[in-house]
Amino acid sequence: MIRQASTKLLKLLKPIAEGLGYEFVGAEYLSQGKHSVLRVFIDKPEGIAVEDCEVVSRQVSSMLDVEDPISGVYSLEVSSPGMDRPLFCPEHFERFIGRDVKLLLSTPLNNRRKMTVRLKQMIDGIVHAELEGEAIEIDFENIEKAHLVPVFD
- CATH node for 7-79: 3.30.300.70
Which residues sit opposite 105 in a β-bridge? 143
Q: Domain 90-148: which topology?
A: SH3 type barrels. (2.30.30)
pLDDT bin (cut points 50, 70, 90) of residue 35 is: confident
Angle at 47 between CA 43 and CA 52, to 5 degrees: 70
Which of the pair, 1 or 13, is modelled with greater confidence?
13
Which of the pair, 72 or 40, is modelled with greater confidence?
40
The tens digit of pLDDT for each residue in 41-61 reads 999 999 999 999 999 999 999
- Identical fold, 7-79 and 90-148: no
Beta carbons within 8 Å of 82's beta carbon, 6+ residues apart: none
Residue 4 in this model has a pLDDT that exceeds 90: no
The tens digit of pLDDT for each residue in 91-120 reads 999 999 999 999 999 999 989 999 999 999
Position 126 scores a pLDDT of 96
Position 3 scores a pLDDT of 73
pLDDT bin (cut points 50, 70, 90) of residue 1 is: low
Position 33 scores a pLDDT of 81
Residue 2 in this model has a pLDDT that exceeds 80: no
Determine which of 38-42, 45-49, 66-70 has the lowest per-residue pLDDT on average.
66-70
Question: What residue ranges in the chain does DSSP mark as E strands?
Answer: 23-30, 36-43, 74-79, 100-109, 112-123, 126-131, 134-139, 143-148
Domain locations along the chain: 7-79, 90-148
Position 56 scores a pLDDT of 98
Residue 83 in this model has a pLDDT that exceeds 70: yes
Position 123 scores a pLDDT of 94
Contact call for residues 97 and 121 (beta carbons, < 8 A) = yes
Residue 153 in this model has a pLDDT that exceeds 80: no
Which residue, 146, 97, 93, is CA-closest to 120? 97
Residue 136 in this model has a pLDDT that exceeds 90: yes
Exposed / middle / buried, residue 102 (Cβ in 10 Å: 0-12, 13-18, 19+): middle
